[in-house]
Amino acid sequence: MVLKKTFCFLLTFLLLPINILAYSDYIIASGENIGIELNTDGVMVVGFYKVDNHDIAATSGLEIGDIITNIDDKKVDSISSLVKAINESNGQIKISYVRDNITNYTNLKLYKDNNTYKTGIYVKDSVSGIGTLTFIDPNTKLFGALGHEITDKSTGKVLEISDGKIYASNVTNIKPSINGSPGEKNAQLFVSEVNGSIFENTIKGIFGNYTGSLDKKLYKVAKPSEITKGKAQFMTVLEGKKVEFFDINIIKINNSQSTKNILFEITDKNLLNKTNGIVQGMSGSPIIQNDKIIGAVTHAIVNDANKGYGIYITTMLEEGEN
């Protein structure tokens, strides 16, 4: 009887779930400026226009932000495939579109003008911009950047993507921030220098597979419990491709937020003289404290550009590994 109880206890113990982190203890903290290109999962409706003085699409049930995925039985994954499907139709099309993760359908009668079908719909199939590469896991080649999502400007929603790329880039100049209006980095993109493919766009960053050079310094990943108030630095590019370190002071650490975990203020006079605070394009800049990577810059406080928020690096790593 005693042996049977012992066996049951051991079996129960062995079946307990074990939480094993997939990311490495040491990762590359990048700070490099990157060009970003995202392809939408379908084509996105971004506006409407009148055809022969009729709002044919605006009254069809379609809304700005809808993702068109099919025309009749033909898959739509780009503007060119949309145009092809429309030109092969008989002037009456069935549109499949996604809104809030639900597939809907509508019919649309097209108008012909100079032997070309008109839909009354403005669409796009990609977006591009710049940001900062946060980390690369040298073992899995996973990269993370931005520390926040890329949204569609017309809807404010997280952009649903099929894939994307990151490119090498060169910062050409900085437009400084003023309180109430964040500044921005301006950069030249090198589309021939692809450094990775993007597979995910989430509220915690963009993630993908890195294909560029891994010849960079490794930093130990800090747990949230190891982060303290006080001095730290973040890494970013202000000119060309040169990654520099800039001093900050961590004011508050917040474990109750999913993304805005670190509140900090810029104390680096050189940075303030050049940018007057946090500017657009700095999102993803890795934060270093005690020679460990602790997080990434994500947001500026609009009315006080000297202050901003950061996300825990562990949060980004866990999101990318999921």
Gyration radius (Cα) of the chain, Å: 24
Other C-beta atoms closer than 10 Å to the C-beta of 223 total 12
> Which letter does DSSP use for residue 226 in this model?
G
Would you call 283 a catalytic residue per the annotation? Answer: yes
Would you call 24 a catalytic residue per the annotation? Answer: no
CA-nearest of 66, 128, 127 to 100 is 66
Among residues 169, 283, 285, 299, the one annotated as catalytic is 283
Among residues 30, 148, 169, 299, the one annotated as catalytic is 148
Residue type, 286: P
What is the Cα–Cα distance from 41 to 160, expressed in whole angstroms?
6
- What SS3 state is found at 65? coil
What is the Cα–Cα distance from 125 to 239, expressed in whole angstroms?
31
Which runs of consecutive H residues, i.e. helices, occur in 33-151? 79-87
Whose tokens are 């937020």? That residue is: 257
- What SS3 state is found at 271? helix
CB neighbours of 123 closer than 8 A, spacing ≥ 6? 43, 44, 45, 46, 68, 79, 82
Backbone angles phi, psi at 104, to 5 degrees: -125, 170
Among residues 77, 247, 268, 304, the one annotated as catalytic is 268
| DSSP bridge partners of 170 | 188
Residues assigned a catalytic role: 148, 268, 283
